[in-house]
Structure 1
Amino acid sequence: PHLSGGETVTKIMWKVSASLLPAVAVGVYIFGVRALLVVVVSVAAAMLTEFFFLKIRKLDTTRVLDGSAALTGLILALTLPPTLPLFAVIMGAVVAIALGKQIFGGLGNNIFNPALVGRAFLAATYPVFMTTWSNPNYWKALQKVDAINVATPLANFKFEQKLAPSAKLLFGTIAGSIGETSVVALLVGAVYLLYKKYINWRMPVGYLGTVLVISGIMRLISDKYPTPTFMILAGGLILGAFYIATDPVTTPFTNKGIWIFSFGAGVLVILIRIFGGLPEGVLFSILFMNTLTPVINKWTQPKVFGHDG
């Protein structure tokens, strides 16, 4: 996310990364130092991969400090289980930069959100590791997080029809990815992004609003469906709405296009979470809509006077 308002892209990238520090801090507090290790390794691997590609392409290697690779590594880390082996973290970060970004020509040319490409790769290659969660053990210096098969709130509802309390979802005292568990921590950063106008407010409003309205209607139809509050607070929806779907490179550049994108992504989240085989749908909802961005841009771009179509 980097809607420029006079600031350089580099400054904005680093400020967006800084806005995620509350989520990182809460994740480390809840899951222990192992979560911090995952974050550090992911960011470092992403930046080293970026440096490698800049070097072999004979480009200015100082561009590794523009903040884009670090932000990709950080967002990727926040979507990962704290128990994920470090070799897998490294592979995810390498794929995110190499196949999600550099293969398309670097910053500004990628079709898909790089962090989601890395996470999709890990979900496909290490499905057991990526679905092995741990209970919050809170900060215990140098203690390794125990990798046990604890269900996330979305999985609990999907397979057992159990709804987690909203308070636990708000403050992150649940099993889940490092940065997806605490909604409050994410919203602290999101408010900053909105205040600085680094993101287009229409994307999170459209994305969250679609999920809220459709899930509300479904809950009125039957109690077997989750509450709208649960659908908004559980899983990676808040992280996705404010930090991933708002990436201007992989999402539409017109306001009308953003409404279309956000509505489509919201519908897909509902379809996958409630009717699909997976508990979570944020990853695939955004990646799928990324593929439609060029088409949406073509549909919604303003007509140029004197040109047809």
Structure 2
Amino acid sequence: MNTDPRLRDAMQQVLLACLPGVLVLFWVYGWGVLCNLLLCAASALLTEAALLRLRGHPVLPALNDGSALVSACLLAVALPAYAPWWIPVIAAGSAIALGKQLYGGVGRNPFNPAMLGYAVVLLSFPVPMTHWPAPQALDLGHALQALSGFAERPDAWAQATVLDGLRQNRSLTIDELFASHAGFGHLAGRGSEWASLAFLAGGLFLLQRKVISWQTPVAMLGSLFLVSLLCWNGSGSDSNGSPLLHLLAGSTMLSAFFIVTEPVSGPKTPWGRLVGGAMVGVLIYLIRTWGNYPDGAAFAVLLMNLCVPALDRLAQQRRPETA
């Protein structure tokens, strides 16, 4: 079995497009980001190799296509920096085993592997998965201590995310939150808003190279902007946040250009991509605002994946009959 050169080329371009976001996250959070990358990549490749060997399939051609590395990279940047080492290991292993090889390998997965792995660790380890470090770079020694899971973490750098702080706020106005909460920056999270812009740049690169289609990211960002604008109730203490905050906070840009555009688990028709992307944007807002999880992108994408067969069937029925 030879590696499909088109698949390998697409995966290489996706990894290249991720690079600006990875570099910004490293600048903001330091060595924990690179440690996540190494742990996710090693776990994904080892899990893929072991399961391919167990199934009697060639190992090297499948590893060479780059799909496991892409899933590992997307997981690494979605996970909190300095999470205990077993979280990226379990997340990447689950992504490959439960999200990919369980269904027969690349091209057959009904769910986005990276988001399935993320959901597994989010449900299993909710506390460390909802706390990111303050924007500061620890030296490598302290980073390894934090990753071991045994070192005591200083309260000064372990903090709730911006979206979690917004959701739990009961008394402060938005202006007071931005002034008093260490995680708030100019428009969204301090530092992470620059990472969102970097992932936006990477996504535009993928659009320009025609690696992804425009319908899904445009529909997702458009629906998230619209619903957050309609539900925006100003800057009072009961505010759900501005549209710009929702676009630049959390994993919005990463999800729009690198997650929902996954070609296997996503809709195959232009109309299906528009509806599926809009569905994800609305679900992200609903989960962020009224759900139990501050971001919700993983669950929104997985719920959309469940609807893909119905969306594609409806799209086929909408096509006008030709003579």
Distance 1:297-1:75 versus aligned 2 partners, 3 A rule = same
Paired residue type of 1:218: C
Question: Would you say 1:155 and 2:174 are equivalent positions?
Answer: no
Give the CA deviation at 1:277: 2.4
CA distance in 2, matches of 1:182, 1:60: 37
- The answer to whether the 8 Å contact 1:207/1:241 transfers is yes
Question: Would you say 1:200 and 2:230 are equivalent positions?
Answer: no
CA displacement 1:59-98 (0-9 Å, x = unmatched): 1212111000000011011110112111221111111100
Structure 1 outlier segments of 4+, above 3 Å: 139-143, 145-149, 161-170, 220-223, 302-306
- The answer to whether the 8 Å contact 2:216/2:273 transfers is yes
Question: Would you say 1:21 and 2:19 are equivalent positions?
Answer: yes
Paired residue for 2:286, among 265, 271, 279? 271
Paired residue type of 1:30: V
Question: Would you say 1:294 and 2:309 are equivalent positions?
Answer: yes
Tell me which residue corresponds to 1:261. Answer: 276
- The answer to whether the 8 Å contact 1:133/1:147 transfers is no
Tell me which residue corresponds to 2:245. Answer: 230
- The answer to whether the 8 Å contact 2:44/2:72 transfers is yes
CA distance in 1, matches of 2:234, 2:27: 39
Give the CA deviation at 1:141: 4.6
Paired residue type of 1:296: L
Paired residue type of 1:198: V
Paired residue type of 1:131: T
SS in 2 for 1:84: coil
CA distance in 1, matches of 2:199, 2:275: 24
TM-score by length of 1: 0.88
The farther-off stretch of 214-223 and 32-41 is: 214-223
Give the CA deviation at 1:166: 5.8
Tell me which residue corresponds to 1:190. Answer: 203
CA distance in 2, matches of 1:251, 1:212: 21
The percentage of counterpart residues that share the same residue type is: 33
Name the Cα RMSD after superposition: 2.3
CA displacement 1:175-234 (0-9 Å, x = unmatched): xxxxx8711221221121011011111111100000111111122688523111111111
Distance 1:273-1:181 versus aligned 2 partners, 3 A rule = farther
CA distance in 2, matches of 1:259, 1:156: 31
In the TM superposition, 1:25-64 aligns within 5 A as 25-62=23-60, 63-64=62-63
Tell me which residue corresponds to 2:119. Answer: 120
CA distance in 1, matches of 2:138, 2:200: 22
Tell me which residue corresponds to 1:103. Answer: 102
CA distance in 1, matches of 2:208, 2:248: 22
Paired residue type of 1:190: G
CA displacement 1:81-121 (0-9 Å, x = unmatched): 11211122111111110001100010011111001111111
- The answer to whether the 8 Å contact 1:38/1:82 transfers is yes
Tell me which residue corresponds to 2:149. Answer: none
CA distance in 1, matches of 2:20, 2:92: 22
TM-score by length of 2: 0.85
CA distance in 1, matches of 2:266, 2:252: 17
Consecutive unaligned residues of structure 1, counting only runs of 5 or more, are 1-5, 175-179
Q: Number of aligned pairs?
A: 295
Consecutive unaligned residues of structure 2, counting only runs of 5 or more, are 147-152, 179-183
Paired residue type of 2:44: A
